[in-house]
Amino acid sequence: MLLNANDKLVMIGDSITDAGRAQPYGEGLFEPYGRGYVNLVNALLGAVNPDLMIRVVNVGTSGHTTRDLKSRWQRDVFDLKPQWVSCMIGINDVWRQFDMPWQTEVHVLPDEYRANLDELVGQTVGKVKGMVLLTPYYIEPNRNDGMRAQMDRYGAIVKEIAAKHKTLCVDTQAAFDRVLKQYYPGTLAWDRVHPSSIGHMVLAKAFLDALGFVWK
């Protein structure tokens, strides 16, 4: 596995990462990691590799876009001095174009999304051991659906940035597409965005697989 003993892993993103985590930082006692994939990642790392003492910190914030991450990256990433950083962002950058189409000032269009993410990753890769970028996703098997098609475009941007900066990349959409062969979208997420426990485990497994986690 790519994570080493005593590494600190900071996981940043939007509500999918947040999942009700503790404030100001999701770490410590009494279920601070939220109810999502970050909690599962922390639990699996601790249960399977207790000797490594890997430290996970959840700094996801509901509703955030790449614009918001730029404003808090120093406080929530650099100030925490992590060895590894995980970032899954983009769902709201896309979603606001569909659920608030009239409020164009909050839309983060592809060129801005690319620039924002490129800036954040470019500032970070030289300061950490490793970085993991996770694509945004939409739990909808119809690739011609408007929001699914736009999410795929943003996912392609994440892959582009990951290749440019030589970071790990997790294709979360592909992970969901695999299970969508069996499940109706509403089974995995009532709004096709916020996952059930099964959906969060799909994310956790894809993330850990990218790190070379050994499922003993």
- Indicate which residues carry an active-site annotation: 15, 191, 194
Q: In the numeric block, which tokens belong to residue 170? A: 């997790």
How far, in Å, CA of 79 to CA of 64, rounded? 19
How far, in Å, CA of 23 to CA of 64, rounded? 15
Burial of 114-153, coded b for 16+ CB within 10 Å and e otherwise, reads bebbbebbeebbeebebbbbbbbbbbbeeeeeebbebbbe
Amino acid at 170: V
Phi-psi region of 109 (alpha: psi -120 to 50; beta: other; left: phi over 0): beta
Q: In the numeric block, which tokens belong to residue 80? A: 């925490």
How far, in Å, CA of 167 to CA of 169, rounded? 6
